[in-house]
């Protein structure tokens, strides 16, 4: 099986696994990205076009996605789109069964480019470490309790009644653009970072931490698996994970966040924010595969690459093969930080031999 044949053989969602959304997304013209922006080494352009039709949230500026990642430590990756990249967190306790544990740790990781949004397959040099797309949707930003109280005081000071609005409330910008901006501002405030100037808006200096208290922002997920799940991200200026990267010798710093899970309304049980059918299936919403199936397909792809290399040793690599390997190296750099800080040295990589593990060719990096 060649890599091209492997792509063509990928499963499509079976009809008995498809679930109609009770509140389907409003279809709207794609204004930001095209299918070409989302193509990965493991997908074809036609597949991506189909996925974008099935997930209209990708046409919004405020889309998000959740990946199931079997890395050195298994976890979920939550990625929120923001001005051309996705701000990302690794959640070791995952997001499944939200009512079982209402507070979870989230480790901020490397920001990813848009092309990684629909990625499924092997990661970090090994077919044994697959990743799959577990949810796609859009997010909305909600006020924290402190901000809500401040706005109420402002309305009282200016004598505004319930029928009147402030300038910010009367904004005419599209809702998805507004939600993206609110997330951008809230994230930088809670991160104790200055807010960069962007899209004609002036930047804001960092607000000094004088109290030592946590800062927060709140988002709500509206997706196919999680709908109405509200996440309150809290972070303290001193709460970071510092580690030495054995490979580069550089010190890395990852912000640690406390995430509190709640429903969009007190009348809605927290367990109801997760689709029970999709939770029970526990499959990719793109290809209807389990993680075990994605890993098996990644092993087949690794074997196909090795067979291709053996043939190329006689005739040399074609231009298409060289381009695929160059793209694969870029994917490895993009993915490396999602290993939650567990990095092996070059010596360990050369000597490590895991029984039964399908290793990708040494010069191919995913």
DSSP 3-state assignment of 363?
coil
pLDDT digits (tens, 9 = 90+) for 170-213: 567 899 999 999 999 999 999 999 999 988 888 999 988 888 89
Residue 45's φ and ψ, nearest 5 degrees, are: -65, -40
Tokens representing residue 262 in the block? 């709640």
Tokens representing residue 38 in the block? 């989302």
Confidence of residue 333 (pLDDT cuts 50, 70, 90): low
DSSP 3-state assignment of 295?
helix
Name, in order, each residue with C-beta under 8 angstroms of 291's C-beta and a sequence gap of 6 or more. 68, 70, 130, 132
Specify the pairing of strand 126-142 against strand 121-123. Answer: antiparallel
Specify the pairing of strand 227-235 against strand 251-263. Answer: antiparallel
Confidence of residue 8 (pLDDT cuts 50, 70, 90): low
Higher pLDDT, 239 or 354: 239
pLDDT at 254 > cutoff 60: yes
pLDDT at position 252 is: 80
* Residue labelled with tokens 């910010």: 168
Q: Helix (H) and strand (E) counts for the chain? A: 9, 11
pLDDT at 214 > cutoff 70: yes
Tokens representing residue 221 in the block? 């997920």
Side-chain-facing half-sphere of 282: CA atoms under 13 Å: 12
pLDDT at position 191 is: 95
Higher pLDDT, 68 or 252: 68
pLDDT at position 184 is: 96
- Concatenated DSSP letters of 123-186: ETTEEEEEEEEEEEEEEEEE--HHHHHHHHHHHHHHT--TT---TTTT--S-HHHHHHHHHHHH
User: How high does pLDDT run on average in the chain?
Assistant: 78
Q: What is the rounded end-to-end Cα distance, in angstroms, of the chain?
A: 19
* Residue labelled with tokens 């040793």: 313
Higher pLDDT, 277 or 341: 277
Closest CA to 308 of 3, 5, 43, 6: 3
CA gap 295, 127 in Å, rounded? 6
Global confidence as pTM: 0.77
Tokens representing residue 71 in the block? 């890395």
pLDDT at position 343 is: 37
Highest mean pLDDT among 124-133, 176-185, 293-302: 176-185
CA gap 62, 83 in Å, rounded? 9
Highest mean pLDDT among 153-162, 188-197, 327-336, 343-352: 188-197
CA angle 153, 158, 164 (to 5 degrees): 95
Confidence of residue 20 (pLDDT cuts 50, 70, 90): very low
Q: Compute the radius of gyration of the chain from its Cα atoms.
A: 22
Segments of 168-265 assigned E as strands: 215-223, 227-235, 240-244, 251-263
Question: Do 287 and 16 contact (CB within 8 A), yes or no?
Answer: no
Higher pLDDT, 47 or 4: 47
Confidence of residue 3 (pLDDT cuts 50, 70, 90): low
Alpha helices in the chain (DSSP H): 3-8, 35-38, 45-54, 145-158, 175-190, 276-281, 291-315, 319-335, 346-351
The mean pLDDT of 271-292, rounded to a whole number, is: 95
Specify the pairing of strand 251-263 against strand 240-244. Answer: antiparallel
Question: Do 144 and 218 contact (CB within 8 A), yes or no?
Answer: yes
The mean pLDDT of 14-21, rounded to a whole number, is: 36
pLDDT digits (tens, 9 = 90+) for 224-237: 999 999 999 999 99
Higher pLDDT, 166 or 41: 41
pLDDT digits (tens, 9 = 90+) for 78-108: 999 999 999 999 999 889 999 999 999 999 9
The mean pLDDT of 28-34, rounded to a whole number, is: 59
DSSP 3-state assignment of 30?
coil
Closest CA to 235 of 183, 182, 186: 186
pLDDT at position 210 is: 84
The percentage of the chain sitting over the pLDDT mark of 70, rounded to a whole number, equals 69
pLDDT at 269 > cutoff 70: yes
């Amino acid at each position: 099986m060649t890599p091209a044949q492997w792509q063509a053989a990928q499963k499509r969602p079976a009809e008995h696994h498809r679930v109609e959304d009770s509140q389907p997304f409003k279809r709207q013209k794609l204004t930001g990205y095209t299918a070409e922006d989302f193509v990965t080494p493991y997908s074809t352009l036609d597949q991506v076009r189909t996925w974008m039709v099935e997930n209209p949230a990708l046409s919004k500026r405020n889309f998000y996605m959740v990946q199931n990642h079997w890395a050195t430590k298994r976890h979920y990756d939550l990625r929120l789109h923001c001005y051309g990249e996705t701000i990302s967190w690794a959640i070791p306790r995952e997001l499944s069964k939200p009512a079982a544990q209402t507070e979870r740790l989230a480790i901020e990781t490397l920001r990813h480019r848009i092309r990684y949004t629909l990625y499924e397959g092997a990661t970090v040099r090994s077919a044994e470490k697959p990743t799959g797309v577990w949810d796609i949707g859009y997010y909305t930003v909600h006020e924290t309790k402190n901000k809500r109280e401040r706005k109420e005081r402002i309305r009282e000071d200016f004598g505004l009644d319930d029928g009147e609005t402030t300038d910010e409330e009367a904004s005419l910008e599209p809702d998805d653009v507004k939600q993206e901006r609110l997330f951008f501002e809230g994230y930088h405030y809670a991160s104790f970072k200055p807010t960069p100037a962007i899209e004609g808006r002036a930047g804001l200096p960092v607000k000094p931490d004088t109290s030592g208290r946590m800062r927060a922002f709140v988002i709500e997920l509206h997706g196919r698996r999680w709908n109405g799940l509200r996440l309150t991200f809290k972070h303290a200026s001193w709460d970071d994970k510092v580690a030495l990267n054995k490979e580069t010798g550089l010190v890395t710093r990852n912000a640690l966040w406390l995430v509190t899970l709640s429903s969009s309304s007190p009348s809605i049980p927290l367990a109801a924010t997760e689709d029970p059918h999709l939770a029970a299936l526990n499959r990719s919403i793109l290809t209807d595969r389990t993680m075990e199936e994605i890993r098996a397909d990644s092993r087949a792809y690794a074997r196909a690459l090795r067979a291709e290399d053996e043939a190329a040793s006689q005739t040399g690599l074609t231009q298409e093969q060289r381009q695929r390997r160059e793209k694969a190296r870029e994917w490895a750099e993009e993915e490396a930080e999602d290993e939650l800080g567990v990095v092996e040295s070059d010596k360990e990589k050369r000597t490590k031999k895991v029984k039964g593990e399908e290793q990708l060719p040494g010069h191919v990096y995913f």
